[in-house]
Chain A
Amino acid sequence: MKKNFISLKELSERNIGLAPGHRACAGCPFPSIVRMVLSASDNPVVVANATGCLEVTSTIFPYSAWPVPWIHSAFENVAATIAGIETAFRVFKKRGIIPENKKINFIAFGGDGATYDIGLQALSGAIERGHNFLYILYDNQAYMNTGIQRSSATPFGANTTTSPAGKVIPGKLQDRKDITEIIAAHGTPYVAQASPSHFYDFISKIRKAFEIKGPKFIAVLSPCVPGWGYRENESIEIAKLAVETCFWPLYEIEHGVYKLTYKPAKKLPVRIWLEKQERFKHLINREELITEIQKKVDEKWERLLNLDGKKIF
């Protein structure tokens, strides 16, 4: 892992990220995620962006906060768009329009709505065709951009506008899908889960992904101030707690081999993470539901511990 890391000092020399003046909410962590991804690349990048918070807030015409070539695509087809760009690049190389040794990193950004739900078929197709791109999922666990509607990334028990918590129903009744495992099941060369709070781990994963040929996928947790309900200065802390409670384990699957990249020294109870957020407020006095969530987290963590170091395909 160490060889892939680039120090913050070096990263600051490159400093490619969203320009100031974008209109993301105060305290939203995805601009930092974008900065880490773009600055970590050794080669020029081309970015495709699905509809979602990131696209809506960073490119309000005639303003754009992107310092790199960027294209907007609809919710459902960002993976198809980046696949097309990558194919055009290959064809241009073949025809001699672009020099043979030119290297470009192709990156697609999508939120959880554009990845778990609407864009899953395009992503699945692009991965199956084996295009050379990196897909970054910033997972804020609901449709935050349109007003906090539940998505299939929303965890059990979360209060959203379309799964409101009341006296009878305690928020969302279903579990979230495990997108990392779904993508891994495609036989993708590199799949990882990361968090902005653990930047060393995240930047190493990005750089490792750029070195691998073929489709790559990194799921990044991106806490949401209005959607999750916490103070705007706590974004990074909330992301850190999600990792420390093992709700969001940091691991990677490289050519089928599982590797846990971070094991918390002391696994914290999930309650600590839930209590910090307004969307789980109704669960605090319902011990049986918290136990249920804890059980699910434990099961997944146990499974990962067992898989650590093993080859699945």
Chain B
Amino acid sequence: MKLKNWKELPEGAIIKNTPTSPEFKTGEWKTKEPYYHAEKCTHCLLCWLYCPDSVITVKNKKIDVFLLEYCKGCGICAKICPVNAIEMREVEL
């Protein structure tokens, strides 16, 4: 990324159109990633609530897709799941 000079930067370093952080993919940090067993899931939404990286999305009050390009692989979702519907698997680097 080419750095901007001071004339090109917004005044007061104001960031407009937030959130802009999704442009930065944090998924490459991970060594493990969650594997979702949809058939076991009861849609209690605990994993959605506790996922620190907003990887788990909800649609119509049900678990939808996992945005794995942001997943840092912490494994909180697998740990919190009461029915073991999420399993952490090693990522091939």
Q: Which residues of A contact B (CB under 8 A)?
A: 8-9, 11-13, 15, 17-32, 35-36, 58-67, 70, 196, 199, 231-237
Contacts and interface: CB of A to CB of B under 8 A. Distances in A.
Interface string B68-93: 00101111101110000000100000
A9 B61 contact: yes
Interface string B24-35: 111001100000
A74 B86 CA distance: 40
- By Cβ-Cβ distance, the 9 closest A-B pairs, closest first, are A19-B19, A233-B75, A21-B21, A27-B74, A20-B70, A26-B72, A65-B21, A26-B74, A31-B52
22 contacts: A9-B45, A11-B49, A12-B48, A12-B58, A17-B54, A19-B19, A19-B21, A20-B53, A21-B26, A21-B70, A23-B24, A24-B52, A27-B75, A29-B50, A29-B76, A31-B52, A35-B49, A58-B21, A61-B15, A63-B15, A199-B49, A237-B79
A20 B58 CA distance: 14
A11 B15 CA distance: 27
* Residues of A contacting B: mostly: loop
B52 A28 contact: yes
B49 to A, nearest CB: 6
A46 B86 CA distance: 35
B61 A27 contact: no
B39 interface: no
B19 A64 contact: yes
A20 B22 contact: yes
B58 A15 contact: yes
B76 A235 contact: yes
Contacts of B21: 18-22, 58, 63-65
A83 B75 CA distance: 38
Contact of A236 (B25, B45, B67, B80): B80
A20 B67 contact: yes
Given A31-B54, A32-B51, 7 more contacts: A20-B26, A22-B21, A26-B29, A26-B52, A32-B50, A35-B54, A196-B50
Contacts of B76: 27, 29, 232-233, 235-236
B79 A233 contact: yes
B41 interface: no
A158 B75 CA distance: 26
B18 interface: yes
B84 to A, nearest CB: 13
A258 to B, nearest CB: 28
A9 B74 CA distance: 24
Contacts of A58: 21
Among B23, B61, B74, B75: residue with most chain A CB under 10 A = B74
A32 B54 CA distance: 9
A67 B74 contact: no
B18 A8 contact: no
A64 B53 CA distance: 14
B16 to A, nearest CB: 9
A299 B53 CA distance: 38
Nearest to A234: B79
Nearest to A225: B74
Contacts of B15: 59, 61-64
Contact of A36 (B23, B49, B54): B49
Contacts of A23: 24, 26
Given A20-B22, A21-B25, A64-B19, A236 B74 contact: no
A170 B79 CA distance: 32
